[in-house]
Chains A and B, each alone.
Chain A
Amino acid sequence: AAGVIQSPRHLIKEKRETATLKCYPIPRHDTVYWYQQGPGQDPQFLISFYEKMQSDKGSIPDRFSAQQFSDYHSELNMSSLELGDSALYFCASSLRAIAYEQYFGPGTRLTVT
Chain B
Amino acid sequence: GQQVMQIPQYQHVQEGEDFTTYCNSSTTLSNIQWYKQRPGGHPVFLIQLVKSGEVKKQKRLTFQFGEAKKNSSLHITATQTTDVGTYFCAGPGAGGTSYGKLTFGQGTILTVHP
Enumerate chain A interface residues (CB-CB to B < 8 A): 31, 33, 41-45, 48, 50, 55-56, 58, 90, 92, 94, 96, 99-107
Contact = CB atoms under 8 A, between A and B. Distances in A.
B82 interface: no
Q: Per DSSP, are chain B's interface residues mostly helix, strand or loop, or mixed?
A: loop
A21 B92 CA distance: 25
A49 to B, nearest CB: 10
A50 B101 CA distance: 12
25 contacts: A42-B88, A42-B104, A42-B105, A42-B107, A43-B43, A43-B88, A43-B102, A43-B104, A44-B104, A45-B93, A45-B101, A55-B99, A56-B96, A56-B97, A58-B93, A90-B43, A92-B43, A100-B31, A100-B48, A100-B92, A102-B33, A102-B45, A104-B44, A106-B41, A107-B42
Interface of B: 31, 33, 35, 41-45, 48, 88, 92-93, 96-107
Nearest to A91: B42
B6 to A, nearest CB: 8
B35 to A, nearest CB: 8
A26 to B, nearest CB: 12
B93 A56 contact: yes
Contact of B48 (A92, A99, A104, A106): A99
A103 B35 CA distance: 10
A105 B44 CA distance: 9
Nearest to A3: B42
B42 A105 contact: yes
A104 B99 contact: no
Nearest to A97: B99
Contacts of A94: 99
B42 A31 contact: no
